[in-house]
Structure 1
Amino acid sequence: MTYSFIIEPVAVQEFESEDELIERCKEWNLLPATATRVKTYQYKRQGLILPCEIVGFVDNVTVVIQFENKQQHCIHPAYLKEMQTAGFGQRASAADARTDDSPELPDEPAAAENPPEELPHKTTGTDSGAISGEIPAVPEANAAAETVTPEPPQKKAAASKKKPAVQLPEDKLAVTAVIKEFTTVPNHFSDNDDEVIIYEAVVVEGHDLGIEEVWSSHSATLKKLELNVGDKVSFEAKIVAKKLTQHPVKYKINNPSKMKKTDPSS
């Protein structure tokens, strides 16, 4: 059985270990601070109660869950948390009935509102919970004025922005790079900022991607290597297009493995 409401992730960032999964769930308030193991969650929609598990994430406000039929679905962690409450279905069933048949309209102004916890604005294309509400009427005069507003400047701007996108291989790549900087970025779900590493002088074996800098989480596994600025490292990882918050680094390495320091002269 497949589910029609599914919002499939384009690229899933997998957890490096069960410990990282537990820590992330605590940051999303999906596990208590004292939890030592993961749990199975319930996805509720139109009378359905579907067991699911968290298998990854797209970004800090988009969790990827997987159902028993192996389908994966994007959802906001605060909305998933709300689904665990006993009274969730009484309010959400009417909203889900309105939105189930229109997955192609995530950008309409009143199609979905934020769940009770404050949501960042980046949840477009994520199951964030639809709450019924009225759309304010637009005065006829304003509507008429909008129909005659010329749009050529907008079209020109859109055309000028388009640049050839870097074609990123889907498989893991052999990469060498140099540690440029250790820094932090804000985490809206935790009192502490996320620690990250920025790499420069990136070389991908067998590919000319034109990528000069990448970044990754400074995970507990990487901390064991005791890396320093200027260290040259080699590793295997997937490279995905994901900009680092507050930094001009457009690409992220996912699930780096076999990382080790190399001779700077090599």
Structure 2
Amino acid sequence: MSVNYPQIEESGLTQYIPPKEEYNTFENDEHYEELGREWGLFGKTPKKDFWYKGKGYKRSVKVVGFIEYGVTGTFHTLIIKFEDGNISCIHPDYLKEMQKSTFGKETEESPVPVKSSPKKDKSLTSTTKPKNKSTNEKATKSEIALPEDKVTFMATVKGFGTKPNPFSDNDDEILLLDNVKITADKQLEVGFAWCGYSKTLKKLELQEGQSLEFSAKIVKKKHKEFPYKINNPSKIKVQ
């Protein structure tokens, strides 16, 4: 899709900042609602349409995806889509501020579409530290070629922990997994990994030592102790 920018509006200027890389889309409505609440864009009632405001104008947009960044991939840049088809990047907190009726009235300056990135988090805090360091080191050294698409996994619940969330007063809960294996045509030993402890996972009332089978994407993170993250596990079976 071609992106035309800047585009002059009748009463102002819209500056589009298209993503320079591929962005993540939402798996389903539940995934969108879970992240939307995490970003503080809405409460119990999901919201699909948002205002993008500039000096003297406002336009309707939808959140169509996001980009992860930071050491653990816990920071996000949102991808918003305008009614004319153009897409642009914006920080979650900035889009949230635009929804306020007072936005733009305190200053005469034109808004900047994307805020500067917050400090990267340097560590995760787990209630159960991974003991199988050799597995992690072996996986890291061999530079596993991770699949880009969703695949089926087998794993064992190792424990539970938390990680800092710079946009909230509370830390985010995480699920620690061990003996992680990709069970495709070519089986792949991953070892230790982690994922967000979502409401869907909490409903399963998981216990340490339980075996799981699920479908998900896996990504490599620049973190020695927590190198692999599982994204959006679904079709979860507890064995």
**1:217-232 alignment runs, 5 A limit:** 217-232=196-211
Give the structure-2-normalised TM-score: 0.66
Q: Which runs of 5+ in 1 are unaligned?
A: 97-111, 123-162
Aligned to 1:120: 118
What is the alpha-carbon distance in structure 1 between the residues aligned to residue 190 and residue 86 of structure 2?
32
What is the alpha-carbon distance in structure 2 between the residues aligned to residue 3 and residue 47 of structure 1?
21
- After superposition, give the CA deviation of every residue in 1:140-191 in whole Å (9 maximum; x if it has no partner): xxxxxxxxxxxxxxxxxxxxxxx88543222111110111111111222223
Q: Which has the higher strand share?
A: 2
What is the alpha-carbon distance in structure 2 between the residues aligned to residue 196 and residue 234 of structure 1?
18
What is the alpha-carbon distance in structure 1 between the residues aligned to residue 143 and residue 88 of structure 2?
26
Give the structure-1-normalised TM-score: 0.60
Change (3 A) 1:172 1:75: same
What is the alpha-carbon distance in structure 1 between the residues aligned to residue 166 and residue 148 of structure 2?
29
Count of paired positions: 198
Aligned to 1:80: 95
* Higher CA-based Rg: 1
Q: Which has the higher helix share?
A: 1
What is the alpha-carbon distance in structure 2 between the residues aligned to residue 56 and residue 113 of structure 1?
17
Q: Which runs of 5+ in 2 are unaligned?
A: 6-16, 121-140
Aligned to 2:3: 2
What is the alpha-carbon distance in structure 1 between the residues aligned to residue 182 and residue 49 of structure 2?
38
- After superposition, give the CA deviation of every residue in 1:192-243 in whole Å (9 maximum; x if it has no partner): 2211111111111234555211211111111222211111111111112245
Aligned to 1:250: 227
- After superposition, give the CA deviation of every residue in 1:86-105 in whole Å (9 maximum; x if it has no partner): 42794226x67xxxxxxxxx
Aligned to 1:170: 148
Is 1:36 aligned with 2:45?
A: yes
Aligned to 1:212: 191
Contact in 1 for aligned 2:90/2:115 (Cα 8 Å): no
What is the alpha-carbon distance in structure 2 between the residues aligned to residue 64 and residue 8 of structure 1?
13
Contact in 2 for aligned 1:197/1:216 (Cα 8 Å): yes
Of 62-71 and 192-201, deviating more is 62-71
One-letter amino acid of the counterpart of residue 2, structure 1: V
Contact in 2 for aligned 1:61/1:77 (Cα 8 Å): no
Is 1:53 aligned with 2:62?
A: yes
Q: Specify the SS of the correspondent of 2:191.
A: coil
Q: Specify the SS of the correspondent of 1:216.
A: strand
One-letter amino acid of the counterpart of residue 41, structure 2: L
- After superposition, give the CA deviation of every residue in 1:27-56 in whole Å (9 maximum; x if it has no partner): 43433x5x4121412334687744222244
- After superposition, give the CA deviation of every residue in 1:66-115 in whole Å (9 maximum; x if it has no partner): 3146665432112222333542794226x67xxxxxxxxxxxxxxx864x
What is the alpha-carbon distance in structure 2 between the residues aligned to residue 61 and residue 40 of structure 1?
22
Aligned to 1:233: 212
What is the alpha-carbon distance in structure 2 between the residues aligned to residue 72 and residue 209 of structure 1?
37
Aligned to 1:180: 158
Aligned to 2:178: 200
Change (3 A) 1:242 1:90: farther
- State the percentage of identical aligned residues: 38
Change (3 A) 1:42 1:229: same
Change (3 A) 1:255 1:27: closer
Aligned to 1:65: 79
